[in-house]
């Protein structure tokens, strides 16, 4: 497929010879490990055979992976961690001041919330934006890359999905200070210059509308810089996002309906939210409504979490997403696609 065709397919979805459009299917892929080029081709051929048309690949070698994906007719997008810089030793060593600071005054570099790998840079800082924009620009410059897929493009979870509260022994019915970011010098000074008040001096920071909006806009401004860089390369830009614009704003400060990406992949992992399968449909509907209100132009693919879906549930989830108007689905992840799930995907896509 030519690049232009890949982009058209991403924005408008698959067509079936004039019949009603079907959903397309993608999968997230961990590209590390010791597989060689032939093994990657076999892995990609296997999912392509079931009807999957694109891969979102993190890690590994772009040349090997991109060539293998294209040889099997798959669209190849680079899955890229953004604000979470756990794997970025250079930034951690050279720019500790870039890391987000909690309302308790602790840096996520030295005091990562929840888990050791939660080391997040602050999206308000111009140097951070320039660094991440350059990262996606260099990724998009590779001729093998059809698109850049942003992940962790947000603040750390100020509130975890409800289904995870027990795991961490938390009741997050409000924003707790140790999970509330970012109160670094740059955020405090920038907000003070705009509003006249230091966010740490607000009587109740979580309830302040302007302070909430400031942080949504901070992520959105970072996305805009990345979008412009990737589009200047003639490539697509997409993102893995939280389930709905409303939940995403509240839990991780993502106003993703305002991002104007080519596609969003909301992670509709119902079990994380103690929800049932129909929730996938209502979430798709809510997301599409918000995207339309923001001017349209962004397609939506429903992210599905394989470990909590048996094959029958997977078929039902695809059907629900399709009926709600999703342009496609995306499966987390290729490593969890055993033969029975793969057969279910194939059956669901044929419907």
- Least Å distance, CB 249 to Zn ion, is 18
Q: Does 240 bind Zn ion (CB under 5 A)?
A: no
Cβ distance to Zn ion smaller for residue 150 or 187: 187
Rounded to 10 deg, the angle between the 185-195 and 209-232 helix axes is 110
Cβ distance to Zn ion smaller for residue 123 or 287: 123
Contact 258, 224 (CB under 8 A): no
Q: Does 182 bind Zn ion (CB under 5 A)?
A: yes
Residue with tokens 């992940």: 151
Contacts of 302 (CB under 8 A, 6+ apart): 265, 266, 268, 280, 283, 284, 317, 321, 326, 328, 329, 330
Stretch that binds Zn ion, among 35-43, 176-184, 247-255, 328-336 (CB under 5 A): 176-184
Cβ distance to Zn ion smaller for residue 252 or 321: 252
Cβ distance to Zn ion smaller for residue 27 or 124: 124
Q: Which of residues 31-60 bind Zn ion (CB under 5 A)?
A: none
Cβ distance to Zn ion smaller for residue 184 or 324: 184
How far, in Å, CA of 132 to CA of 10, rounded? 24
- How many residues belong to the site for Zn ion (CB under 5 A)? 5
Q: Does 158 bind Zn ion (CB under 5 A)?
A: no
Q: Which of residues 112-131 bind Zn ion (CB under 5 A)?
A: 122, 124
Half-sphere exposure of 10 (CA within 13 A, CB side): 30
Q: Among 68, 160, 184, 236, which residue sits at the site for Zn ion (rule: CB under 5 A)?
A: 184
How far, in Å, CA of 74 to CA of 63, rounded? 14
Instruction: Compute the CA torsion angle 112, 115, 121, 124 (nearest 10 deg).
Output: -90
Tell me how far CA of residue 243 lies from CA of 254, 256, 317, in angstroms.
10, 10, 14
Q: Which of residues 186-215 bind Zn ion (CB under 5 A)?
A: 187
Cβ distance to Zn ion smaller for residue 129 or 249: 129
Q: Does 83 bind Zn ion (CB under 5 A)?
A: no
Contacts of 176 (CB under 8 A, 6+ apart): 158, 170
Q: Does 102 bind Zn ion (CB under 5 A)?
A: no
Q: For residue 260, what is the enclosing H or E element?
A: none
Q: Does 222 bind Zn ion (CB under 5 A)?
A: no
What residues line the site for Zn ion (CB under 5 A)? 122, 124, 182, 184, 187
């Amino acid at each position: 497929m030519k690049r232009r065709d890949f982009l058209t397919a991403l924005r408008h979805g698959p067509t079936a010879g004039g019949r009603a459009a079907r959903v397309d299917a993608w999968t997230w892929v961990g590209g590390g490990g010791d597989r060689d080029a032939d093994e990657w081709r076999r892995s990609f051929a296997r999912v392509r055979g079931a009807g999957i048309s694109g891969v979102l690949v993190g890690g590994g070698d772009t040349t090997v992976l991109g060539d293998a994906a294209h040889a099997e007719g798959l669209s190849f997008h680079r899955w890229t961690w953004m604000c979470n810089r756990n794997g970025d030793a250079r930034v951690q060593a050279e720019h500790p001041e870039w890391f987000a600071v909690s309302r308790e005054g602790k840096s996520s570099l030295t005091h990562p919330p929840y888990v050791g790998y939660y080391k997040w840079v602050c999206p308000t800082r111009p140097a951070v934006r320039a660094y991440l924009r350059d990262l996606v620009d260099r990724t998009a410059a590779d001729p093998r890359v059809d698109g850049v897929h942003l992940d962790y493009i947000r603040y750390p979870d100020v509130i975890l999905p409800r289904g995870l509260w027990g795991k961490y022994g938390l009741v997050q019915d409000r924003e707790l200070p140790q999970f509330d970011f970012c109160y670094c010098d740059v955020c405090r000074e920038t907000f003070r210059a705009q509003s006249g008040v230091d966010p740490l001096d607000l009587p109740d920071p979580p309830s302040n509308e302007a302070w909430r909006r400031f942080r949504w806009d901070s992520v959105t401004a970072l996305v805009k810089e990345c979008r412009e860089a990737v589009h200047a390369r003639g490539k697509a830009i997409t993102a893995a996002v939280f389930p709905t614009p409303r939940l995403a704003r509240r839990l991780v400060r993502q106003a993703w309906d305002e991002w104007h990406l080519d596609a969003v992949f909301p992670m509709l992992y119902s079990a994380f939210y103690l929800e049932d399968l129909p929730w996938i449909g209502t979430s798709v509907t809510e997301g599409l409504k918000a995207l339309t209100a923001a001017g349209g132009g962004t397609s939506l693919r429903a992210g599905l979490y394989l470990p909590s879906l048996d094959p029958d549930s997977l078929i039902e989830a695809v059907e629900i997403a399709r009926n709600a108007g999703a342009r496609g689905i995306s499966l987390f992840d290729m490593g969890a696609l055993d033969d029975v799930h793969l057969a279910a995907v194939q059956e669901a896509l044929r419907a």
